[in-house]
A = this chain, B = another copy of it.
Amino acid sequence: MSDITPLENLGEFGLIRRIQQTVTLRQPSTRLGIGDDAAILAPEAGHDLVVSTDLLVEGVHFDLTFCPLKHVGYKAVAVNVSDIAAMNAVPTQIVVGLAIGSRYSVEAIDELYEGMRLACEAYNVDLVGGDTTASRGGLTISITAMGQVPSGQAVRRSGARPNDLLCVTGDLGGAFLGLQVLEREKAAWTADPDMQPELEKYPYVLQRQLRPEARMDVIHELRDLGVVPTSMIDVSDGLASEVLHLCQQSGTGARVFSENLPAANPMLEVANEFNLDPIMCMLNGGEDYELLFTIPLTDHDKIKNHPDITIIGHITEKSDGVNLVTKQGQPIPLKAQGWQHF
């Protein structure tokens, strides 16, 4: 049985010192990390800074019944890095706010930070500051991520133009189906606590849900290919919702071809098992954290052989609307059915 040390044994300052000791600083722009009133950064000349913030709330964004705290920590950093990637920027620093419920032990918080530490290593990001406090409820994690991009090269949602190719990285729908598996097994386990959850059969979709990765690899590859997307967004709420955001902010329409949507075999198998339409899972399942972006038609040759980029459609005039084109060639207006928090 593992140790359980109450947080009050450590106190807030003890906890800060404990976190500080495990942090490695890698970024040349970090002048001062944890331990003062603020971190000090010296941004690289000729670069713009991008800043994004995300909250993960226990019972809303994660469920500790089936999600280990280490994965929660990793995911909390990854989803913030994903927002930085979606600006065509490279992440540099994060600050972390934690509101911690009274049932959390020092060991639990260590596990959470271990996940964040691993993600910082994977994305080459410095954890430079934070705030920790008690909460009256569960755990709330607030991360603000900063990144840098050569001046003027940040990619917004608003730059898509008619005839641009609409591209997406990786595959879609897996994270949503991973959540379906977890919720089914939780319901079964709630009904019969002696039952063993069957999770070994679903490694791919579970990994997509529990431990998503930000697509920094693709950002670096696009730079190497000399491709600057005209617009970009990360797929957190579901593809349909994100296509609508791009089109709304760019003042365009779009055609998305259902046959082109990137499906992974394990996703198709789980969709089949759950009797769910895989197209709907790919369009409306959230949390894949892939990148959706547009490139000029003239860049087609540069990306056409990239194994991890799929052209799913193209941008049109606004008057054409935003449509899903079915296998039969039928255009259907695309609707967002993404996350509704409230």
List residues of chain A with CB under 8 Å of any chain B CB.
Answer: 6-8, 10-12, 15, 31-32, 35-43, 45, 48-55, 57-61, 83-84, 86-87, 89, 93, 95-100, 128-138, 140, 142, 144-147, 151, 154, 156-158, 232-234, 249, 339-342
Contact = CB atoms under 8 A, between A and B. Distances in A.
19 contacts: A11-B342, A12-B340, A32-B156, A37-B233, A38-B84, A38-B145, A39-B50, A41-B49, A43-B49, A49-B49, A53-B144, A54-B131, A55-B97, A55-B133, A55-B140, A57-B135, A97-B142, A136-B137, A137-B137
B35 A131 contact: no
A129 B341 contact: no
Contact of A341 (B12, B31, B48): B12
A188 to B, nearest CB: 23
A316 B224 CA distance: 56
A136 B133 contact: no
A95 B11 CA distance: 27
Select the residue from A6, A8, A154 with max chain B CB neighbours within 10 A. Answer: A154
Nearest to A15: B342
A40 B129 contact: no
A97 B135 contact: no
Contact of A135 (B8, B96, B137): B137
Nearest to A145: B38
Contacts of A42: 48-49, 151
A52 B38 contact: yes
The 3 closest A-B pairs by CB, nearest first: A137-B137, A142-B142, A38-B52
Contact of A131 (B41, B53, B132, B137): B53
Given A37-B84, A38-B87, 14 more contacts: A12-B341, A32-B154, A36-B87, A36-B156, A37-B232, A38-B52, A38-B84, A39-B50, A42-B151, A43-B49, A51-B128, A53-B131, A61-B133, A135-B137
